[in-house]
Amino acid sequence: MFLALSLGPLLQAGGTITRPTFWQISGVGEVLFYYLAAVAILVFLYGVYDRFARYAQGTEDPFERLDDLPGRILRAARTVTTNEKQFDRDLYGGIMHAFVLWGFLTLLIGTTILGIDMDLYRNLTAWLTGERQSFFIGDFYLSYSLVMDAMGFLFVVGVGMALYRRYVTRNERLWGKHTSTEDGLFVWTLFLLGVGGYVTEGLRILGTGYPDFETVSFVGWFTANAFGWVGLSQSGAAALYPIAWWSHAVLALAFVAWIPYAKPFHMISSFANLVTRNEKAGNRLPGVPADLAPEEIGFTDIEDLSWKQLLDHDACTKCGRCSSVCPAKASGRPLDPRDVILDLKSYRESVDAGGEEQPIVADGGTSVIDSATMESCMSCMACMDACPVDIEHVPQFTEMNRRLTETGEMDAGVQDVMMDVFMKGNSFGDPQRKRADWAEELDFEIPDAREQQVEYLWYVGDYPSFDERNKRIARSVAKIFEAADVSYGILYDEEKTAGNDVRRVGEEGLFEELAEHHADVLSNCEFEKMVCTDPHSFNTFKHEYPALEGIEWPAEEGDIYHYTQVVDSLASELPLSGTELDYTVTYHDPCHLGRMNDEYEAPRGLVRETGCDLFEMPRNRADSFCCGGGGGGLWIDQEEEEKPSEERLREALEDTEADAEVEKFVVACPMCMTMYEDGRKTGDYEDDIEILGVSELLAEAIEAADEGGGSVSAGVGPDADDATSERSSTADD
């Protein structure tokens, strides 16, 4: 593969710049080389076949993975060649991988070109014309040599950067329970291949007496000079050349044969994984087939995994990017996304080799994955966003949660909430007749969307309906709609929990019941668009309900919005002229609104409409750090070194450009509100920062404008008098 740097010397024969191949290698050596090459390729092809044959034994994936195959391949090629995901959050790693990848591909292409000339073109021209001809001459050859030397040099530099990061700075995320000899062997093999090519080239240049045009191979020329400086003669170089050539050739061919059986296979599996990615993975979880018995739901054994999930495991390069951004791991919870994927891979390989079978997930340490590990996941999708090869962690984690649900091993606190949802329709266990009590303090009546036609059907959600602190969010949104004079209405007591987190803790049956209920209710309403207070509900209504079989969901995907998107479109209708809130604020991107649905600008635009000074936290937009409440995290008492909400508030006060000058921590998710109000107390930040919803900030600006405009200071706004008394959260209850 890397022989293009070293297959024989440059010669100037009859005025033609070219080089014969196999310099100093006998005819027997040529035959042996081709034999070894054939063996290496056959071993490689069998290994690749065996891998993909194993994928075929996996179950059918619930999502279409091979539609628009040409388009998928082009998108995957773009992702790979641009290294765009490698640069995310890690400039050093991006540069390193770009050098290795582009250098490797160039050397591979160069070797292929050389093989075509040697084994096809020359023989074809001999057969057609009776004379062996070559295109590997003159300007083409000189250009080839320059490009190969330059890109090969980048390759060596990139691998050197990898070695430095792994062994000198010892980057923490590169080391873990699955780090093994193959990881180091892979990197060192690449390094020896790159350096070995230049050593072989340098010996050739020195051994052939420094042909003038060899200077185009500037790295090889430098290497030849280095050999000369240490006293190596021309004859000595010629004598050493076959040893270097064979060492390099055997290592290269051994590497080719090794690719399908160890970590180098990620060069193939990762690309295949990018081709077969599901753009809505995590947003839209797979359903449970209706014909499955309860004992078959979730991962019961390795044969339950789909072919794509098996491919996910092989695509993992152990880079640790998922682990480094996981809020559960950062908080000391027993979850490392990389380890879960690799644990499943190791177990599969063990079973395939005749090892003992065990449960995939269970409580008590007798399974591949412990239940506490899955209970730690917040379904924030940070792992999936950070993964450079699009491994789909969250859907696999959900399948394991489904198994825990079916075996009765769900966390006790979550079980209680699920019972409340089942019996009462909400996660608080309150009577449904109280769902709209939050509106009693308003001086206007909220229209009933069941009784009259509206433009916007507003799904309020559990937390704005029942949690005292979040009722202020609901009231502020209502005030904004009134100020904008839009046609809107709510479902009152026929609104139930949407089920986003119900589904993610594994209660698929309950989730489907909630979906059927809302589909029936909405089918009897007349509305144009649906707007949600909660990003979790927004995601579920937009992506998951429409995909459920047997349910006719009356809302189109493009007609479902988060309230910040609707209000942003109505900003020109709001009485904000001349108002400036004199606050220094930062904004937290909710996982379900930002990372999962790519909405970053609407909430920021609204914050800026109020005149506040907005400062970004280092981890913002797609890199935002989860509050800790997703995936049922709001309902589980976790043993944590530091709550994710506490870490996020610390970041707001210490790592933004404004640092401690930040007065308001602005959120756009009621669940985030609950988590950060809790973290504000447990982290002792009550005197340092206030948590506000985007809607509260905007409603405060509208109220100030109604009172005559101008600058506004703390304490003015909707429900300001009861701000302290209403900061209690269900986490404290």
Query: If 0-12 CB within 10 Å is exposed, 13-18 middle and 19+ buried, where does residue 172 land?
Result: exposed
Residue-level pLDDT at 580:
79
Distance from C-alpha of 379 to C-alpha of 388, rounded to nearest angstrom: 18
Tens of pLDDT, residue by residue over 104-154, are: 999 999 988 888 887 787 778 878 887 777 777 788 889 999 999 999 999
Lookup: tokens for 506:
């594994």
Residue-level pLDDT at 714:
35
The answer to whether residues 723 and 598 touch, using CB atoms and an 8 Å cutoff, is no
Distance from C-alpha of 469 to C-alpha of 724, rounded to nearest angstrom: 9
Q: Please report, in angstroms and rounded to a whole number, the separation of the first and last CA atoms in the chain.
A: 64
The answer to whether residues 525 and 449 touch, using CB atoms and an 8 Å cutoff, is yes
Element (H, E) at 295: none
Residue-level pLDDT at 364:
79
Distance from C-alpha of 398 to C-alpha of 119, rounded to nearest angstrom: 52
pTM: 0.90
pLDDT below 50 — which residues of the chain?
1-15, 710-733
| Residue labelled with tokens 């209000």 | 567
Residue 214, by phi and psi: left (phi above 0), alpha (psi -120 to 50) or beta?
alpha
Residues 6+ apart with CB under 8 A from 9: 19, 20, 23, 204, 205, 207, 208, 211
Lookup: tokens for 431:
């009577």
Distance from C-alpha of 596 to C-alpha of 285, rounded to nearest angstrom: 12
Residue-level pLDDT at 655:
97
* HEC profile of 658-699: CHHHCCEEEECCHHHHHHHHHHHHHCCCCCCCEEEEHHHHHH
Report the sign of the C-alpha dihedral through residues 66, 85, 330, 332, in that order.
positive
Q: Is 59 helix (H, G, I), strand (E, B) or coil?
A: strand
Q: Is 579 helix (H, G, I), strand (E, B) or coil?
A: strand
| Residue labelled with tokens 């509100």 | 673
Distance from C-alpha of 706 to C-alpha of 684, rounded to nearest angstrom: 36
Residue-level pLDDT at 578:
65
Query: If 0-12 CB within 10 Å is exposed, 13-18 middle and 19+ buried, where does residue 733 land?
Result: exposed
DSSP symbol at 588: P
Residue 293 burial (CB count, 10 A): 7
Q: Among 404, 381, 591, 409, which Cα is nearest to 506's?
A: 404
DSSP per position, 322-346: HHHH-HHHHTT-S--HHHHHHHHHH
Residue-level pLDDT at 516:
97
CA 573 to chain centroid, in Å, comes to 38
Residue 78 burial (CB count, 10 A): 11
Q: Is 544 helix (H, G, I), strand (E, B) or coil?
A: helix
395-422: burial string, b at 16+ Cβ within 10 Å, e else: bbbbbbbbbbbbbebbbeebbebbebbe
Q: Where are the domains of the chain?
A: 3-18+86-264, 286-409, 415-722
Element (H, E) at 362: strand 361-362
| Residue labelled with tokens 């988060």 | 562
- CATH number listed for the domain at residues 286-409: 1.10.1060
